[in-house]
């Protein structure tokens, strides 16, 4: 998979992923990119040619395959990748971390002015214990749904058998032509989240 995102000031962010052995690194990662993707369609060869080698980051992708039973224990809660590291192919890991933070803030509450005001003799802090079970209940099903979708996208994009790739590409091309709105609606569950009041 090769992705291209134009940024401000004429800069371009590119990402690429491919099945590879964990831990293997190359002396010249830009040359490795060229070798793997340099014969793909435009504008990929040109973009790879313009990359300065010191700007290439090469990491292995890890994800939590077996969902955690909860995102809290006692008075401790976790969020983001610590709770539900997922494959990056839906571009949702950081989005879900932000949603976690919003929900966690809503169950934690704002504290009270009397508790946090300086000089009142009280230690600053949160008044009542936050309902962390409510946080887990709100976030676990959604993040599991997103992580599963992301994993399906990873499997789809990481196919290596030519027959499977041809079938996938034909299916996506046909669906895009015959039912474009249906294709777009696949993203509705990701985009339709609303923060708690
Ligand atoms: C190639 C790729 C593309 C991606 N694209 C997208 C995208 O388009 N959209 C999207 O929403 N998400 C994307 N993601 C996912 C996103 O990057 C992560 O989900 C997100 O960064 C998780 O945020 P986090 O704060 O939970 O964890 P992290 O970003 O991992 O932050 C944790 C921080 O804690 C620090 N830390 C760890 N241990 C300690 C310690 N003991 N003491 C102090 N500090 C510590 C780490 O150094 C790190 O800085 C992508 C991921 C990858 C790999």
Q: For residue 161, how far is its CA from the centre of ligand 1 (angstroms)?
A: 31
Give the model's pLDDT for residue 197. Answer: 80
pTM: 0.86
pLDDT cut 90: percent of the chain above it = 74
Confidence of residue 45 (pLDDT cuts 50, 70, 90): very high
**pLDDT attached to residue 182:** 85
Tell me what the mean pLDDT of segment 158-162 comes to: 90
Q: How far is the CA of 101 from the centre of ligand 1 (A)?
A: 14
75 CA → ligand 1 middle, Å: 23
The angle formed by the CA atoms of residues 125, 131 and 136, to the nearest 5 degrees, is 125
Could you tell me if 130 and 109 are in contact, meaning their C-beta atoms sit under 8 angstroms apart? yes
- Closest residue by Cα to residue 154 from 142, 141, 168, 143: 168
Residue 63: predicted pLDDT: 97
Higher-pLDDT residue of 111, 18: 18
Burial category of 67 from C-beta neighbours within 10 Å (exposed 0-12, middle 13-18, buried 19 and up): middle
Q: Which two tokens stand for residue 123?
A: 């230690």
Which residue from 1, 14, 17, 81 has its CB within 8 A of the most atoms of ligand 1, so it is best to mutate? 81
CA of 63 to the centre of ligand 1 (A): 12
pLDDT exceeds 60 at position 119: no
What is the structure's pLDDT at 126?
Answer: 52
Lining residues, ligand 1, CB within 6 Å: 15, 61, 80-82, 88, 91-95, 97
| Per-domain boundaries in the chain | 2-55, 72-159
What's the pLDDT at 13?
94
Q: What is the mean pLDDT of the chain?
A: 89
Q: What is the pLDDT of residues 175-185, one digit of tens each?
A: 989 988 888 88
> What is residue 76's three-state secondary structure?
strand
Burial profile 162-187: b = 16 or more Cβ within 10 angstroms, e = fewer: eeeeeeeeeeeeeeeeeeeeeeeeee
Could you say which DSSP state residue 106 is in?
H
């Amino acid at each position: 998979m090769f992705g291209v995102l134009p940024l401000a000031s004429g800069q371009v962010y590119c990402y690429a992923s491919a099945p590879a052995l964990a831990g293997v690194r190359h002396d010249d990662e830009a040359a490795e990119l060229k070798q793997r993707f340099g014969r793909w369609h435009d504008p990929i060869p040109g973009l790879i040619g313009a990359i300065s080698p010191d700007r290439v980051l090469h990491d292995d992708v890890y994800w939590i395959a077996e969902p955690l039973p909860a995102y809290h224990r006692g008075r401790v809660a976790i969020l983001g990748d610590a709770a539900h590291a997922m494959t990056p192919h839906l571009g949702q890991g950081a989005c879900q971390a932000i949603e976690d933070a919003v929900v966690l803030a809503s169950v934690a509450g704002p504290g009270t002015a009397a508790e946090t005001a300086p000089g009142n003799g009280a230690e600053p802090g949160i008044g009542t214990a936050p309902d962390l079970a409510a946080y887990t209940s709100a976030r676990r099903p959604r993040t599991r749904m997103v992580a599963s979708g992301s994993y399906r996208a990873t499997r789809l994009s990481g196919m290596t058998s030519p027959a499977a790739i041809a079938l996938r590409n034909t299916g996506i091309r046909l669906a895009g032509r015959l039912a474009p709105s249906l294709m777009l609606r696949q993203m509705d569950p990701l985009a339709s989240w609303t923060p708690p009041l």
